[in-house]
Structure 1
Amino acid sequence: MSQDLWRDHADEIAREIRNHRYERSDSGLLLTRMGAFIGGAMKVRDYRRGHQQTVAIAANTLLNEGLNHLLNVGFPPTGGYAQITQWYLAPYKGNYTPDPTLTAAQFPAVAEEFTAYTATQRPALVIPRLATARSTGNTGNEAVFVLAAGGPYNLYGCVVVSSSAKGSVSGVGMAAVPFDHPRLNMAGGDKLGIEYVLTAADAG
């Protein structure tokens, strides 16, 4: 399968998902007949009191509305389809297990969005270059959350959404990622650095 998996096989991917010929895993979708995988992962860096304590990789759950967006961009319906050009990261404080039916509209209440950080809006997922090896993301441009004064704060995960405003119930949700372990008892001034990578690749 070529590196341009999504461009060259958008119609086939759409047909396989539409006909439910896939297996869902914690990190994405396995299109068994195509031998292809679509999924993502998040690297989480924990900076407490100015010192990096842990670096961990957490697998995502791709959300149905995000998958539909990818399909509509790669294989647009007659009349065209508006592509989302910027994504954002939003942490959550609820002990929530991601479900693929979660939507951007439900996220703030269902997962209990965490908003006690110094930035005035959700940090952008800054993607520095075009995908050339079947993956894309903000590697080398991690989004950094500086926690606001107060606490202790408990963080359980993060979502990728298309709306920038804290607490927004608009837009599209792409992925939800439970951290490999909860970040407990964080305090004002602590930081959390997040990188997210989405991959479409041959599963062989």
Structure 2
Amino acid sequence: MGVVSRTAGEGDRELIVRLLDEAFQDDPVSGWVFPDAEDRRAKHPGLMAAFTDIVLAAGRIDVTGDGSACALWLSMPADEGHGDHDAEDEGPAQVREAVDPDNERIERIGRLTAAIHPTGRAHEYLWMIGVASGRQGEGLGTALIETVLDRCDREGLPAYLEASNARSRKLYERLGFEPAGPVLNLPDGPSMWPMWREPRPQRPARAL
């Protein structure tokens, strides 16, 4: 049986934040942003809420019908990277101010990932994907991603993401993503892998 999904709306905000918080509490990058475990438990949900609000306003969030997994996507136009330069410059600082003004790593991670983001071609950007802790390993995340990748193939659009751990990187490789430039090594922290996927050619329909 296939995975049923829908586009999330404002009424799904708390669900999405909870999924992302569960999925990334123990992620290496989240651990770098919030090195203290108690501090991370307290403030990490706020960071996930900020990301959720950005994508609800400017992108698209797909969620499984049972609310067990979600994927956050932004459609990136050609030659503009993360949008106009003023918004790009202000965005990381605004997130830091909203979540934890004393934590400069919140702003730094936004600026570092923006700096490596490919420009020049329109593409779909998989910002984050979260799966409930008790449902991981069931293929829910893969199903959500494949739905968008199938559309990318039909429309001739590439896709981009940054893998935040080795396990997710292997998943993305199986879905056709390849390294897109040097690894991003966070200062005194873990690595992130920028990955790019070219659209796959569509097979012509077989004549009857």
TM-score normalized by the length of structure 1 = 0.29
Where is the strand percentage greater, Structure 1 or Structure 2?
Answer: 1
Tell which has more relative contact order, 1 or 2 (C-alpha 8 A, sep 6+). Answer: 1
TM-score normalized by the length of structure 2 = 0.28
